[in-house]
Structure 1
Amino acid sequence: MPHLFDTLIRLVSLIDGSGAAPRLADVGIRDGRITRIDAPGAIDPDTASHVVEGHGMVLAPGFIDVHTHDDTNVVRQPEMTPKISQGVTTVIVGNCGISAAPVTLAGDPPDPMNLLGRAEAFCYPNFQAYVEAVNAAQPAVNVAALVGHTALRSNHMDRLDRAATPDETAAMRAQLEEALAHGALGLSTGLAYANAFCAPTEEVLALAEPLADAGALYATHLRSEFAEILDAMDEAFRIGRHARVPVVISHLKCAGVPNWGRSGEVLDALEGAQRWQPVGCDCYPYTASSSTLDLKQVTSDFDIQVTWSESHPAMGGRLLADIAAEWNVDLLEAARRLQPAGAVYHCMEDADVDRILRHPATVVGSDGLPNDPLPHPRLWGAFPRVLGHYARDRELFPLTVAVNKMTGLSAERFGLTERGFVREGYWADLVLFDAATIRDAASFTDPMQPAEGIAAVWVNGALSWQQRAATGVRAGRFLPRGSRATA
């Protein structure tokens, strides 16, 4: 009998990414796409080259990590083990105003672009070069990309502690337009960081103007996630209205002890904006953030764990307070001595994370930092944590809602066509998992641990991860912007 399918996955509880109730099904794959979805037993297993028994486990769309800093790692470390091991089949890079392309460096990458690697990792002077490099590397996951505002500033400005001139803004805009022509999803900013903080709103308004014609979007690490968060949100909404594009607020949070409990008013502001314009947000399922060691965030209100330090590498993994005590200096002076450095900030409370994660506008992004020697556990565990800790154990939302926040809603928001749903004709990005056992194993003290309960992962129809091990097959590709993004 001729083989009609490359792979047949039998007797699964199908959660298709739409939020609809699960149903038992068999799913057939051919030439990288889902070609048939039918009742259990309706597809003859002899018509498939390879048969996988689902045993009633959940089959869902591959997870879409909408907020990553995997820009250079998808080329330098194409196995992408931290992501494929947790069921992620697509990563969106270029967040927080920092991107690998287009970039031309005169020296070391400015903070926080150093989160993406050292100077030699930035070898893509235009966006098309980056696209070609991703496809040549053929990473284990698909890659879609935003263009970073700070990266553009670094290309065209002699110093970043000022506003761009009209000529510099025009040069940045030309590079952005080139990237949009080659499939970039849109523009991202990281206005909280020192090397973008001096950019006035008008600079971003001018830069964002080409986005609408390209069907692109604006994603932003707000100018403040602390006391001034509502003002920062208003700025983001203003930019979206001016550019006539959807706005995505990156890793929405209420950071800092004085901000705890404000998630209600923050979400009210988001809902208010939604009445007039498309607005969404992403969130990671933890009460700790991670970035470079930022002097503005140094406080004694919560624990700050140093993850790396170029000047004092032995201090990686230790609490900033303990380092300061050992050196007999205050926290700010200790942080100055450690720079450049990275840190984990235990700056949020559970109730705010719950409220934001549960909100219908929220999708899931890990915000993992793959180049940290001691990364935040979100790099390896964000998606299983949503499914296990939040959906199953704490019942924050149904499993179908959790999957939708990590698949279909994400694909629609970022304009990833024929992804994010288990539908006939769509690309076969799929994850098979045990809903009863799935959990994140990564911790703050032992963060590089693959999740439990992930049985198999397919990327573009290719079996890429099975029973806690990579298969050695890498089938990812660059995904250009598809249909118009929504929020």
Structure 2
Amino acid sequence: MHDLVIRAGTLVDGTGRDRFTGDLAIDGGIITQVGGKAGAARRVIDADGLLVTPGWVDVHTHYDGQATWDPILAPSSWHGATTVLFGNCGVGFAPVRPQDRDCVIDLMEGVEDIPGATLRAGLPWNWESFPEFLDALEAMPRAIDVGAQLPHHPLRVYVMGERAVRNELASAEDIAAMQSAAEAALRAGAFGFTTSRTESHRTTRGAQVPGRYAAEEELLAIGAALGKVGHGAFGILSDFENEAAEFDWITRLGKSTGRPIWFLLTDRYGDPQRWRRLLKAVHEARAEGLPLTAQMAG
């Protein structure tokens, strides 16, 4: 006898195959049967006319702060998300030195409109490095799973201080330090790395975010850490002001590291056909074996 059977639901199993009708059985907290007719169970849920799916994974959230004080992570958990990924758009709260806490809060408030007062009241700041941030997340009780990406802008401020805020070019020593910190973060469990290169992302004072004009050498070096560790995806939000040049370094990054690369595919009022060109370039890159993906909201 099974512990639980979800009976006669419409199963969408996440493999890409067509939906189908059947039962799902659970024993000892483990799914033991998907499809077909399951036997008797101690508990039965009638799912006739309902979808039975794996939990939703929300790959683009900004729970970086909330995840340090809220075990529920509402409202995502209320709507079926079982895993959320944050550290997107190059903003977050680790790594951070005590003197730079207001700076990274200002970045998050400016980019994502999360009130700074809320962040100042809620963030416990029981970390400095990114591995310590992961430890703080691990110590929290959780209703759903979380994944954290290493955000570029706090990393840049951590290494360069005010020079990062002024958007100065990173020195060779700066780049080496960022690469080392990225490697440590990935080995500790960071899901990947993200950066933002868009005009629309600004601080509350209207300044460009610290990684807006980062040189290719800096981005390729950080990407090399992903290749060295053999783990993590590289995420980008870009205006693609020079599409050819931007795709050139992205392509070189993919070829040199073999790691997945994704960027947000956005529409532009002044260039309504841009998304078509970018998507065409993605298809061409994938045809050559590059792990490049355009991320879209749907």
Return the match for 2:18 from 21, 44, 53.
21
Matched, 1:212 2:227: yes
Are residues 1:182 and 2:203 paired? Answer: no
Render the CA deviation track for 1:290-335: whole Å, top value 9, x for unaligned: xxxxxxxxxxxxxxxxxxxxxxxxxxxxxxxxxxxxxxxxxxxxxx
Please tell me whether residue 58 in structure 1 is matched to residue 51 in structure 2: yes
Cα contact 1:220–1:236 (8 A) shared by 2: no
Partner of 2:204 in structure 1?
Answer: none
State how far apart, in whole Å, the 1-side matches of 2:24 and 2:50 are.
13
Alignment CA distance shift 1:34-1:130 (3 Å)? farther
The 1:157–1:265 alpha-carbon spacing in structure 2 relative to 1, beyond 3 Å, is: same
Counterparts of residues 206-285 of structure 1 (less than 5 Å): 206-224=221-239, 228-229=242-243, 231-249=245-263, 251-255=264-268, 257-276=269-288, 277-285=290-298
Question: Aligned AA for 1:109?
Answer: C
The alignment partner of 1:197 has SS state of coil
SS at match of 2:53: strand
Cα displacement string for residues 206-232 of structure 1 (whole angstroms, at most 9, x for unaligned residues): 12212123222443333315x545543
Aligned partners of 2:150 and 2:185 also within 8 Å? yes
**Residue 7 of structure 2 aligns with which residue?**
10
Number of residue-to-residue matches in the alignment: 275
Q: C-alpha displacement at 1:105, in angstroms?
A: 4.2
- Give, as a single letter, the amino acid of the residue that structure 1 aligns with 2:294: C
Among the aligned pairs, what percent are the same residue?
29
- Offset from partner CA, 1:354-376 (integer Å, 9 cap, x none): xxxxxxxxxxxxxxxxxxxxxxx
Name structure 2 gaps, 5 residues minimum. Answer: 202-207
Structure holding more helix per residue? 2
Q: In the alignment, what sits opposite 2:127?
A: 124
Q: Spell out the pairing of 1:88-487 with structure 2 (5 A cutoff).
A: 88-107=81-100, 108-110=102-104, 111-114=106-109, 115=112, 118=119, 121=123, 122-158=125-161, 159-160=163-164, 161-192=167-198, 193=201, 194=208, 195-224=210-239, 228-229=242-243, 231-249=245-263, 251-255=264-268, 257-276=269-288, 277-285=290-298
* Cα distance change of structure 1 residues 61 and 71 upon mapping to structure 2, 3 Å threshold: same
CA shift digits 1:72-119 (9 cap, x unpaired): 212222212211222111111111112333322424134533446535
SS at match of 2:75: helix
Q: Residues 148 and 187 of structure 1 are in contact (CA less than 8 Å); yes or no, is this contact kept in structure 2? A: yes
Residue 24 of structure 1 aligns to a residue whose secondary structure is strand
Extract structure 1 runs of 4+ deviating beyond 6 A.
none
Structure-2 separation of matches of 1:141 and 1:200: 37
Shift of 1:58: 0.8
Contact 1:97-1:188 at 8 Å conserved across structures: yes
Is the deviation greater in 111-120 or in 23-32?
A: 111-120
SS at match of 1:64: strand
What amino acid does structure 2 have at the position aligned with 1:112?
A: L
Describe the SS at the equivalent of 2:293: strand
5+ residue gaps, structure 1, are 286-487
Deviation (angstroms), 1:33: 2.6
Instruction: Check 1:52–1:129 CA distance in 2 against 1; reply closer, same or farther (3 A cut).
Output: farther
Question: When the two structures are superposed, what TM-score results if normalisation uses the length of structure 2?
Answer: 0.83
Closer/same/farther in 2, CA of residues 32 and 191 from structure 1, 3 Å limit: farther
- Cα offsets for 1:378-397 (capped at 9, x unmatched): xxxxxxxxxxxxxxxxxxxx
CA root-mean-square deviation: 2.3
Higher relative CO (Cα under 8 Å, sequence separation at least 6) belongs to: 1
